[in-house]
């Protein structure tokens, strides 16, 4: 059953097994606030067990583009289209959030973004990336990085 992410009353629903559940819930709420304010889109998630195709899609892009395999179990996903761009999110037990932004028209932006919940270490599989810090009222300090997608998916 889909969960509408509330960015005013941050909840750990669906993320309870993460050692960084509160911070990861803040990261998720931060994304919900962004999409509400910029696109008037309601950000919803569902258990990864109910949406394995999204987890597989994100994993496929990571593997094909950079040979990356995420070792942490996926907890939740979100998948939607906004402003001509398909967004696929996976929230992992480790505190990691990954999104695949894929412009549907040729020449549009296509990238993979990583966000680390406050307190978590950089996962070994992402050690090659440099992470910038961003302060968030909802999530504390979020560290993020990205890479541009070169292939077609």
pLDDT for 70 equals: 97
The per-residue pLDDT string of the chain (153 residues; one tens digit each, 9 = 90 and over) reads 799 999 999 999 999 999 999 999 999 999 999 999 999 999 999 999 999 999 999 999 999 999 999 999 999 999 999 999 999 999 999 999 999 999 999 889 999 999 999 999 999 999 999 999 999 888 889 999 999 999 999
pLDDT for 28 equals: 97
In whole angstroms, give the CA distance from residue 66 to residue 85. Answer: 22
pLDDT for 107 equals: 87
Give exposure, 81-109, as e/b (b: 16+ Cβ within 10 Å).
eeeebbbbbbbbbbbbbbbbbbeeeeeee
pLDDT for 148 equals: 97
Instruction: Note whether 138 and 26 are within 8 A (CB).
Output: yes
pLDDT for 75 equals: 98
pLDDT for 132 equals: 96
């Amino acid at each position: 059953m889909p969960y509408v992410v509330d960015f005013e009353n941050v909840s750990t629903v669906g993320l309870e097994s993460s050692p960084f559940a509160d911070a990861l819930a803040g990261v998720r709420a931060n994304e919900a606030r962004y999409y509400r304010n910029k696109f008037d889109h309601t950000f919803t998630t569902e258990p990864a067990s109910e949406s394995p195709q999204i987890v597989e899609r994100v994993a496929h892009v990571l593997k094909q583009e950079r040979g990356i395999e995420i070792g942490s179990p996926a907890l939740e996903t979100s998948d939607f289209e906004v402003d001509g761009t398909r967004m696929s999110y996976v929230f992992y037990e480790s505190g990691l959030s990954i999104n695949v932004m894929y412009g549907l028209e040729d020449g549009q932006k296509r990238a993979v973004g990583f966000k680390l919940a406050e307190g978590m270490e950089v996962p070994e599989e992402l050690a090659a990336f440099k992470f910038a810090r961003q302060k968030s009222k909802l999530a504390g300090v979020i560290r993020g990085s990205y890479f541009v997608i070169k292939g077609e998916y």
